[in-house]
Structure formats: structure tokens, C-alpha cells
Amino acid sequence: MTDASDTVLATSPEQLHRAFQDAFNRGDLESIVALYEPRAVVASPGGPVEGTDAIREWYRGILAARPSIDVQTLSVNRVGDLAMLHGKWIVHEAGPDHRQARREGRNTETARRQSDGRWLFVIDDPGAPGTDA
């Protein structure tokens, strides 16, 4: 179980990628899911993953291999309570042959400021065009 003090809350859209990276690298599924609105959508190669229950199961499969990720924010465009983030990521994980594998790509997300001041992902495209995700 995750200690509440381990959960990083994003109080600006610029903090979302760092909060995601920290939770991902801890393998903290619930902290990852807590960064999404209840009806958020993740664009996956197999089709859209909709809602936090489905997002939780999707990330459960990804985290099973115990990967690590480095996320770099390239830009944040903000208007009012909405923000669009662009970034790039590198994932390190063991391949089927147990050798270390490296994948990289670019991501685009839409985030929204919540009534309590937190920012959460609404739409997440971890494999934005031009990536190998």
C-alpha cells in the first residue's frame, strides 16, 4: 500500500510529468491512476483505454515488467483551466530474453485544473505521432 506522503500532487501542469515519472519508477499503480480524471482516456495501440478502472488495469500490465521511465517535458501550453503538454520519454525494461531493452517516444497530454487546484490528465497519448510506442 502507498503511504499518502509518497503521492506527488501536481499543483501545476508543469509538475505532471515529474509526478508520473516518480510514481511509475516506484511501481506505484495507485499514484499513477490518481493523476487521471475519473473519465480520462489513454490512447493505446490497442484502442482507447477509458476511465480510471481501465487505466489501472492497463498500467498494471505495463508495470508487471518493472520498467523505469525518464520523462522530459518539452512544452506546456496553457489557457485557463486547460493545458496541453508535450514530452519525450525513454523506457528501460528487461526484454523477453532478459536483456535490457530501451524504447523511446513522444507524448502529448491534455490536463485540466481541478476545483481543489490539482492538475489531472484528461487525455493521454503516450505514443504521439512520430514515436515507436
Three cell numbers at 50? 477509458
Q: What is the pLDDT of residue 7?
A: 56
pLDDT tens for 64-123 read 989 999 999 999 999 999 999 999 999 998 877 778 889 999 999 999 999 999 999 999
- Distance, in Å, from the CA atom of 50 to the CA atom of 131, rounded to the nearest integer, reads 22
Identify which of 34, 37, 109 has the alpha carbon closest to the alpha carbon of residue 75.
Answer: 109
Per the domain annotation, does 130 fall within a domain? no
**Whether pLDDT at 6 is above 60:** no
Query: For residue 24, what is the domain's CATH number?
Result: 3.10.450.50
pLDDT band at 9 (very low <50, low <70, confident <90, very high): confident
With beta carbons less than 8 A apart as the criterion, state whether 89 and 105 touch: yes
With beta carbons less than 8 A apart as the criterion, state whether 104 and 39 touch: no
Q: What is the pLDDT of residue 8?
A: 64
Per the domain annotation, does 91 fall within a domain? yes
Per the domain annotation, does 132 fall within a domain? no
Provide the domain limits for residue 92: 9-125
Per the domain annotation, does 42 fall within a domain? yes
Q: What is the pLDDT of residue 87?
A: 97
Per the domain annotation, does 47 fall within a domain? yes
Per the domain annotation, does 74 fall within a domain? yes
Identify which of 85, 88, 89 has the alpha carbon closest to the alpha carbon of residue 121.
Answer: 85
Q: What is the pLDDT of residue 132?
A: 45
Residue 24: Cβ-neighbour burial (10 angstroms; 0-12, 13-18, 19+): buried
pLDDT tens for 11-42 read 999 999 999 999 999 999 999 999 999 999 99
